[in-house]
Amino acid sequence: MDLQEFKIKVLPAKQKLYRLALFLLHDKDEAEDILQDVFLKLWTQKDKLDAYNSVEAFAMTITKNLCLDKLKASIRKQMVDVTGIDLSSGDMNPYQHSELTDSMSNVQKLLAALPEQQKLVLHLRDVEGYSFEEIEQITSLTVNNLRVILSRARKSVRDGFLKLENYEIG
């Protein structure tokens, strides 16, 4: 694989790789460092990349593994807003803004409390929009396992959120 082919096949995945690293590490600088490490690893293995069905899935796997290695060395306790909702929007009254902010905070806490595997699968499927087959390549889990993990993660977040909301109302 030459430089031009590398740019065409690998660089378009840059934002997805960065978002995954940022989601797992909760630190922009560390996510950028991981992204550089991923591209360096991919470039050093450029002659072997043609053997992979999806270079993007391989890059996501490398990103995930580097992030998990980084997390094992140093646990992070920050949360990131992955919804993309602009809470500073002027379309809401202060009550609505406060309610949305509280709800977002509750969802983020529930997501942070999920086991790492559930958190990763939920992020890849619902935030990044990967298919089960792509997630299967990234995580080395079967599609059936992924469906169970995703279902449990969604149920856990949904039940926790409803429990919090019902408690606040009642």
Threshold 0.85, pTM exceeds: no
Q: What CA–CA distance (Å, rounded) separates 166 from 161?
A: 9
Lowest model confidence (mean pLDDT) among 8-12, 84-88, 116-120: 84-88
Q: What is the pLDDT of residues 32-63, one digit of tens each?
A: 999 999 999 988 888 888 888 888 889 999 99
Residue 4 binned pLDDT confidence (cut-offs 50, 70, 90): confident
Residue 11 binned pLDDT confidence (cut-offs 50, 70, 90): confident
Residue 82 binned pLDDT confidence (cut-offs 50, 70, 90): very low
| DSSP codes, the chain | --HHHHHHHTGGGHHHHHHHHHHHH--HHHHHHHHHHHHHHHHHTTTTGGGSS-HHHHHHHHHHHHHHHHHHHS--------S---TT-TTS-HHHHHHHHHHHHHHHHHHHHS-HHHHHHHIIIIIS---HHHHHHHH---HHHHHHHHHHHHHHHHHHHHHHHHHHH-
